[in-house]
Chains A and B, each alone.
Chain A
Amino acid sequence: DVVMTQSPLSLPVTLGQPASISCRSSQSLVHSDGNTYLNWFQQRPGQSPRRLISYVSNRDSGVPDRFSGSGSGTDFTLKISRVEAEDVGVYYCMQGTHWPPITFGQGTRLEIK
């Protein structure tokens, strides 16, 4: 199974400051079809997860452009350019290249300092 490792697991950030979350996979996520199936999800307190980004860097409809995804191979990053109060929650990366099983990172808890 592909292991997804996120860091940090806890991320205190001052409002208006940038934030960055790293996600590393135990093997390359480049699929034989050429795509990289790496998604990012946000889970606000008490809510269901919501997909933010698919295919490493494609923002979902309605996701603010302060969120961006990057990376390749085994190393990926989610960046928030300027953190807002509504960004508090837990962020997960997920791989869908080598499945079953689909695997998630442990989650990174973003809080406001």
Chain B
Amino acid sequence: QVRLVESGGGVVQPGRSLTLSCAAYGFSFSASGMHWVRQAPGKGLEWVAVIWNDGSNRYYEDSVKGRFTISRDNSKNRLYLQMNSLRAEDTAVYYCARGDDFFDLWGQGTLVTVSS
């Protein structure tokens, strides 16, 4: 079954780090660019980062640049988002999404809450 499954969310204090993971099933993960998109509680969708299928390029939304790192392991069909120096405004549900023609497949999301 073609699907994406995120994990790794939780409650974290401001300034601390957290790493999210996204497992891909049922499709050729290594052929697809992958994105992270987030949604703050009660708010709209915000694109966070992208990584090319072979990991050769990565781009970030300005507010996370220098703090977040997107990476992937094609041998494990896994996508990651390492989040450092977390802020209250990073509180959101984080979705991984397949990049083929922009977001044709989404995971169920994982909630990250940044709070003291």
Contact = CB atoms under 8 A, between A and B. Distances in A.
A25 interface: no
A100 interface: yes
B44 A54 contact: no
B1 to A, nearest CB: 14
Interface residues of B, number: 20
B108 A48 contact: yes
A54 B62 contact: no
A50 B47 contact: no
Main secondary structure of the interface of A (DSSP, over half): loop
Given A100-B59, A100-B60, A101-B62, A49 B104 contact: no
A94 interface: yes
Interface in B57-79: 59-62
A48 B106 contact: yes
Contact of A49 (B50, B59, B62, B106): B106
A48 B104 contact: no
Given A48-B95, A48-B108, A104 B101 contact: no
Interface of B: 35, 37, 44-47, 50, 59-62, 95, 101-104, 106-109
Interface of A: 37, 39, 41, 43, 48-51, 54-55, 60, 90, 92, 94, 96, 99-107
